[in-house]
Amino acid sequence: MKKRKLLLLGLLTIALIPISCNEDFLETQPLDSISADATWADGALAQAFVFNVYASLGYGGFEEEGLASLTDEAMFTHSGRGINVITEGALSPSGTGNVNIIPQWDELYSAIRKANIAIQELPNATFDDQVLKDRLLGEAHFLRAYYYHQLMRYYGGAPLIDRPYGLDEDYSIARSTYAENVDFVVADLDNAISLLDGKETTPGRASQLSAMGLKSRVLLYAASDLRDATTAAQKSATIGSYANQDLIAYTSGDRESRWILAKNAAKAVLDSEASGYKLDLTEPASAEEATETYISIAMGGGSAVGDAAARSELLFERTHSPLFTQESNWPLGGIHQGINNGPNGYHNWAGNTPIQQLVDDYQMMDGSEFDWSNPDHAASPYENRDPRLEATILYDGAPWKPRPDDVASIDPYDEIQTGTYDDGSGGIIPGVDMRDSPIENWNGSRTGYYVRKFIDPDPSLVDNQSSAQVVPWPFIRYTEIVLNYVEASIATGDEGEARNWLNKIRFRAGMPAITASGDALLEAYINERRIELAYEEHRYHDARRWMIADQTLGRGIKVMKVSAKLKPGATPRSPYQYDPEVYDYTYNVVDNTDNETRIWDDKMYFMPLSRDEINRNELLIQNPGY
């Protein structure tokens, strides 16, 4: 103890001795951060800062839980994620449900702050590369516009903040009107369009075409029913009773002029150097060619399967790399789309499975509607359908990838099995991909379907777990802009132009031309957009801006039950294989009775601001109706 006291005394004495040596070490720079002055004096560091603004985009739509499951496209297989809070209309500022699917208010403002810093600093940056400086500034304007457009379409008018706040400022700010938000975002996009003119196009980074495409979307939304206060009130008494209508819609001005702006913005893209993929056909493609085309579009050049030229569809994308090890953490996103959504017979998780209403909306190859009351349709519901069905959805009997080694003996034919099959001895064989599968039944589909779109079909990725896919997420693609143009053309009475462009899409899909007019043309367009953009995060917003969500999400969930009975005198296939020569198949559409009940309430046209955000800013006004 005595020695310890002497040691402490000695150390204290040394600490009190004045230091007479060079004090430059006090000016050393931290090794784990970079100063603001250094960032904006170096082009590479400034670019790294802007790349961090992109980081708030996350995995795009490739999160484990998908926006499709909040629509009449899909349901989420696994309970306990707060999804039912949204789909059952139980939303409130104190309970906003699942926070992974809907972009959160605070997350979006964090991204906007980063964009604001870049926009503030780049004009005065001291590095010499003016081309890079303009490109980065254009990207920052685009990204700020993108994050504000997310706030607008989920929450309505948001507080407009165009600079980074400093310490000790008053952070309270009221929400701006919806019209002011639109003007702000369009101004940002016009700046981006100018600054990115002639700049190099790099996959995953914003370009002039990205900004033009987003401008088209923002102006289309602004012209839609939900965003016109008079129209919205006529369609919904709930919306009509809201106070502060200008937070969610235009309360004055000429709606026709808004449609013209939307039409012109879309046409600017169509008149540009972009051309999309295979939109120059003068007659329908064959079913086989159309199926391959749509597999290629879904892959976006990110697979060994399909035509890499289909990347031309992408105006703005989220690229992926298997080297991004952060994506190995659970919950998985991005590179693990197949694991999240593939069949349990491949040891996948069946996350966001298609529901029957989506399957039923794919037309027959002759352009007629699918009809369960038609005996031929009911007997073979997946035959002679719009080729986009085969490219988008996995159904009972559909061919898929090689099975993992431990499953290959059950299904050596690599076909989806979501039904129950007669074993010839009075029993049944459960399909290896159904809910009662012998393989991970807790990960089986509850709907009788799996999504195929965006899952890499490369047979070398056997179970989607041994390797990671690098399929890009399509934030904005060319055909969305074509559809935007069609919708605005219908709204402005230019039906010939609408049919012309709509049929370019249908010919690519192997479908006959649409000749309808008036209300029938509008209905044909609505369904065409639903099919073409399935699983691309459009249906959620389209159903709301058209104010038809009570007819979409509000329909509840219907699912498929498939059973196969052995034909008289036939010998069962062992191992089982889909074979209509051996089995009689029965397809029963039933209401979903487990996991989720859906209820539509008109307040769900908007997401509520969370109570925490309201408490942070006393000038925030709650979304009307919550």
CA pair distance 149, 158, nearest whole angstrom: 10
Least Cα distance to 56 among 117, 5, 10 occurs for 117
In the predicted structure, residue 31 carries a pLDDT above the cut 50: no
Summary mean pLDDT of the chain:
91
pLDDT the model gives residue 22: 47
Tell me how far apart the alpha carbons of residues 490 and 407 are, in angstroms, rounded to a whole number: 51
Conformational region of residue 355, where left means phi above 0, alpha means psi within -120 to 50, and beta covers everything else:
beta
Q: Is 226 exposed, middle or buried (0-12, 13-18, 19+ CB in 10 A)?
A: buried
**Could you tell me the pTM of the whole model?**
0.93
Structure tokens at 268: 């600017």
Distance between alpha carbon 541 and the CA centroid of its chain, in Å? 11
Helices (H), 513-589: 518-532, 539-545
E-assigned strand segments in 11-62? none
Query: Predicted confidence band at 325 (pLDDT cuts at 50, 70, 90)?
Result: low
Q: Rounded CA gap, 378 and 398, in Å?
A: 17
Res 394 pLDDT > 70: yes
Does residue 267 register a pLDDT over 60? yes
pLDDT tens digits, one per residue of 193-242: 999 999 999 999 999 999 999 999 999 999 999 999 999 999 999 999 99
State the residue for tokens 């879309």. Answer: 266
pLDDT in tens, 154-198: 999 999 999 999 888 888 899 999 999 999 999 999 999 999 999
Q: How far apart are CA 289 and CA 295, in angstroms?
A: 10
Q: Pick the closest to residue 291 from 507, 500, 510 (CA basis).
A: 510
Under the banding of pLDDT at 50, 70 and 90, the label for residue 321 is confident
- The answer on pLDDT for 25 being more than 70 is no
Q: How far apart are alpha carbons 194 and 183 in whole angstroms?
A: 17
CB 53 within 8 A of CB 565: no
Confirm if 528 and 498 have CB atoms less than 8 A apart: no
Q: What is the pLDDT of residues 337-378, one digit of tens each?
A: 999 999 999 999 999 999 999 999 999 999 999 999 999 999
